[in-house]
Structures are given as C-alpha cells and as structure tokens.
Amino acid sequence: SSRPAWWTNAVVYQIYPRSFQDTTDDGIGDLTGIVQRLDHLSELGVDVIWLSPIHESPQHDNGYDISNYRRIDAVFGTEDEFDYLLAEVHARGMKMIMDLVVNHTSTEHEAFKVSASSRENISRDSYHWRDPRGSFKGGEPGAEPNNWGSLFGGSAWSWHELTQQYYLHIFSAHQPDLNWASTRVRTRVFEMMNWWMDRGIDGFRMDAINYISKDQRFPDSMIQFGGVWGDGAPFYTSGPRVHEFVHEMMRKVFADRDTDYLVVGETTGATVEEALLFTIPERGELDMLFQFEHVNLDHGPGGKWDRRPVQLRDLKTSWNRWQRGLEGRGWNSLYLSNHDQPRHVSRFGNDGDFRYESATLWATLLHMQRGTPFIYQGEEIGMVNADFSSIDQYRDVESLNFYAEATARGRSPQAVLELLRHVSRDNARTPMQWDAGPRAGFSGGIPWIGLGPRHREINVETDKASVKSIFRYYQELIRMRHELPVVALGTFNLLYANHPALFAFRRTLGEVSLSILANPSYQELPVPPDLRTGKVLLGNYGGEADPAVLAPWEARVTDIS
C-alpha cells in the first residue's frame, strides 16, 4: 500500500530494569540508573527501548505479576522519575515502549481481591473460578478442575479456601489469569492502556498475548507435561477469541492515534500461519511478534528442561520458513536473547576463545534478516551465562520451583543444578557489566543476584577499548539497517540449504543484493566458488578475511550487486 512503517528499519533494545543500573545502592536497578545510561544506547544507535515491567508488584516474578498498573513500583523510583526518563529518551530521539502484562495480574491486585471476596461478587467472573472435580474434596490431589500443569510447576489451579473454588494460573500461583471473556476486564485493560499512551509512551510489548482466550470448556489434555500434568497449551494458545480480543484492543486504544507507536506481541507457540493472522496490517492487530520456534530447537519433547544440542539445519529451516512465510505480508521480531533465555553466546556460540567471533556471527545472521531486531541488555558486549553452582544463587521462581519439584521426585541435585546452569532464566538476569570495578559499575551495594563470573574481563569499558569490540560491531549492523533499504526490506533467499556447516543467504531489493555468509563451527570452511565475489561490507575477521575460506565462527556481509 503506502510507505513502509517507521519500524521497518528500527532496532529495539530491551532493558531489564532490575539488573541495568542501580543508583540507590539497594542492589536493584532503577529508573534514574536508566537515565544515566541512555547515552550508551544513543551511541549504540538503537531507536526504541523496551522496558520490562516497573509497575507496582510484589515481585514474585520480577514484576510480571502486577498489583497496580498505574503506579511505578517504589523499588524502581517515583512517578516523576518515570516521566523524566521518558522525556530524556525522547530528547535523544528514541522511543520507549512498556511491557503490558495482562494475561494475568498479581493476586495482590485489587481486582483479584474483590473477585476472590465471595462467589456472589459482581466481579467474580474477572478471573477463572471453577469447582473441584466430581465428588473430590477441594484441595485434595486430583480435585483440580482439569489436569493442566502450570508453566512454573505444579497444577495450573490453586485452591481458594474462603470461597471453596479453584482459580486458574498458567504461570505461578501468584499470577491468576484474567478472564478476557468478561467485558469489564477488557474495558479496564483498554482504559489502562489509553492512560499509558496519554502519558506519552510509544507502545507496548504484550506479554503472553496469545494466551488471553481460553477454551471455556477447560478440557483435560492428553498431552504429557513434565511427567505429571497435562499440557493445557492447545486449549489456551491462540484460543477461540484471541484475534477478536486483540483487534478490539487495537481499535479501542490506537484507532485515533498517530501511527508512530509500536505494538509487539509475545506469542509462545505461534506458527507462521498464526503470525500472519496477527501481523497482516489490514487485519488491524499487532505490528510484529516474538515467536519461539528458533529458541525451542534445543528442547526435546519434555520441553525446556529436556535439553539437547541444536542442529544447524533445523535452525536454517526454521528461520527460512519464517522469513519466506511472512515476506511481503506480515512482520517478525528478530531475537536470540531476552530475560527468559540463556545468553546466546553461551548457548549457540563459544563463550571462550571465540567469544567475539561467535557473538558477532550470531548478531550478523540475526540483524541481516528481514524483521525488527531486538537486542537484550549485555548482548552488545557478549555477556555470558551466570555459571551458578548452588541453588541459593538462583532467584527465578521458575528455576526454584523446578529444582524443588525435580529433586522431590528423586533427581539428583547435582544433575538438576547442571541443567539450570544451561537453561535457567537467571543466566540472562545477572547485572549489566559496565566496567571492571568490584560490582561491574552496576551498584555500590550488594546486587540482588550474583554478578556474572567474568565481569572484570567482559564489560562495556573493556569491550569498547579492545580491537575486537562487539559493541562496535553492533553499531555497524544497526547503521546498515538504517542506511541500506535492502537490509530492512529486501527479500530473503537461503543458499545451500542442506549444507551442514555453512549458513548463507541472499537479500535483494531492486538492483541491490547482499550475500551473508557464516561459519558457525570450529572448522575452516571452503566458500563455494559462486559466493566468493563481491565487496565485503562487514565481517568479524576484518582485513584478514580470505574470499575462498571462512575461518572458525567467521561471518561476513558482501555486496554482490
């Protein structure tokens, strides 16, 4: 139709406020800390900042359990500090989007308290309340309304003594799911969103947005989930009314606004077909979404705790299918890291001798695709996994619950710790490493979670001062997206699809063509003769690159127009 949307050549940076910059020495990052570090983001060149939740919350899931959507949690700062941060972001020509966590609230939210006050309450239907099954007594094992497991361990139902019913929570028991079939719930959510937009923010990252419509029959699931429970996902992922709800949301919140906002959905389990339904512009739903296919390729049938090596061919196939499937119709977010995933340089690369090369290789493969790249704090300096060895170092509710359940079922603590070391979300949540000082420049106090093990070697100051700077490489990738329309909008063609070691693709727009070559392995790789020509625009072996050979973890972008 018209001109491409502004975000087609934008790059987003995710801040996990708890772990970004502390200025009060309580060991927890804060809003003033973000203001102090905004120049880092301007220098990197990003266009948009996404803030993980800073709303009032009992912090059972680090803010993904909100008790008041219109208040900043005191742990992060004041209302004025928030407005100041927003103004400072805008003053630097950047935008800021907020997390929107509305699949569920906190149990501490007023709406839940009211809904839980009695069965007769007019707001009872704001959440999902159900009786015990059959003739079971409430609270007994087996009495749950169905067999669904919670993503954070145990049943997805918790017994409520006062009103003698169960409530549904896909996540932890502190995170009851809102009932989106209630008009009251939707109206309240849309009012709240409008309130934030009127305050001046630039949009939302919508948490678990494809979970908001549940199959109201709440059937048992025949699919195993973690050995004990059933997997309810087929009955709450992209449920019967999800598109109706999202469409209504867009109409009620954005219809009369300028189009300079950004709305990105987090959609676990979304297929390419679903992604099209969410992002084809004419449908009036989301701008783009985070899908999970590529970050689940090292999961076995048992899910994230059933870890296996990722096959390069699977990743190529998956990325290719998403690139081709959305081409010219929908839009995708591009990411490898966020606050829920282990550090990708440790997971898919080599965080030892080839840390620079593998970090920049994955950055190249990601940033040269069509879509909107999201950078997670610390990724721009190649931060690595936490390397915790004892359970008291962990903070994440998911990791702690898994440890308790798995060890109770007889798995050895050592084996579970080894799994957590690779898989835990806390790997991504250690404090941002700014300098080589004692607390990495993050805080003058004791950080709420341990520092990454190599913070004296891996930090912003050291990275920028070194010949091999990951930060500078990211700057180049971002600049290319801003300056070269082919990077933002070109078509995508996978080359040598069945090659077991080479990852190569071509981007084309009009007369302009780029070829992207990468060798995610430790072996030198001959470059196929037809891919040896062209002018190298960017590469992680600099001037030493040999047109005929890819060195270990080498990546390069070549202009072949």
List of residues contacting ligand TEU (CB under 6 A): 61, 64, 101, 151, 171, 207-208, 266, 268, 304, 339-340, 398
From the candidates 231, 266, 287, 463, give the one annotated as an active-site residue. 266
Q: Of 167 and 356, which CB lies nearer to ligand TEU in the complex structure?
A: 167
* Residues 535, 541, 543, 548, Cα dihedral to 10°: -60
The C-alpha atoms of residue 425 and residue 230 are separated, in whole angstroms, by 23
Residue 12 pairs in a beta bridge with 48, 374
The C-alpha atoms of residue 373 and residue 334 are separated, in whole angstroms, by 4
The C-alpha atoms of residue 38 and residue 92 are separated, in whole angstroms, by 8
The C-alpha atoms of residue 113 and residue 128 are separated, in whole angstroms, by 13
> 30 to each of 33, 92, 135, 449, how far by Cα in Å?
5, 19, 50, 15
Q: Of 212 and 538, which CB lies nearer to ligand TEU in the complex structure?
A: 212
Q: Of 430 and 519, which CB lies nearer to ligand TEU in the complex structure?
A: 430
Q: Of 207 and 380, which CB lies nearer to ligand TEU in the complex structure?
A: 207
3-class DSSP string for 49-108: EEECCCEECCCCCCCCCCCEEEEECCCCCCHHHHHHHHHHHHHCCCEEEEEECCCECCCC
Exposed/middle/buried for residue 118 (C-beta within 10 Å: 0-12, 13-18, 19+): exposed
For residue 212, the minimal CB distance to ligand TEU (Å) is 12
Phi, psi of 358 (to 5 degrees): -75, -35
Name the helix (H) or strand (E) containing 472: helix 470-483
From the candidates 30, 65, 207, 405, give the one annotated as an active-site residue. 207
For residue 171, the minimal CB distance to ligand TEU (Å) is 4
> Does 258 participate in catalysis according to the annotation?
no
For residue 396, the minimal CB distance to ligand TEU (Å) is 8
For residue 510, the minimal CB distance to ligand TEU (Å) is 38
Q: Of 63 and 371, which CB lies nearer to ligand TEU in the complex structure?
A: 63
Q: Of 178 and 517, which CB lies nearer to ligand TEU in the complex structure?
A: 178
For residue 32, the minimal CB distance to ligand TEU (Å) is 24
* Residues 15, 21, 24, 30, Cα dihedral to 10°: -10
For residue 152, the minimal CB distance to ligand TEU (Å) is 7
Q: Of 202 and 266, which CB lies nearer to ligand TEU in the complex structure?
A: 266
> Per the structure block, which two tokens stand in for 414?
């050592």
Show the CA angle centred on residue 278, arms to residues 276 and 280, nearest 5°: 55
Name the residue with the smallest CB distance to ligand TEU: 64
The C-alpha atoms of residue 213 and residue 72 are separated, in whole angstroms, by 28
Phi, psi of 406 (to 5 degrees): -65, -40
Residue 373 pairs in a beta bridge with 334
For residue 408, the minimal CB distance to ligand TEU (Å) is 20
> Does 207 participate in catalysis according to the annotation?
yes
Residues noted as catalytic: 207, 266
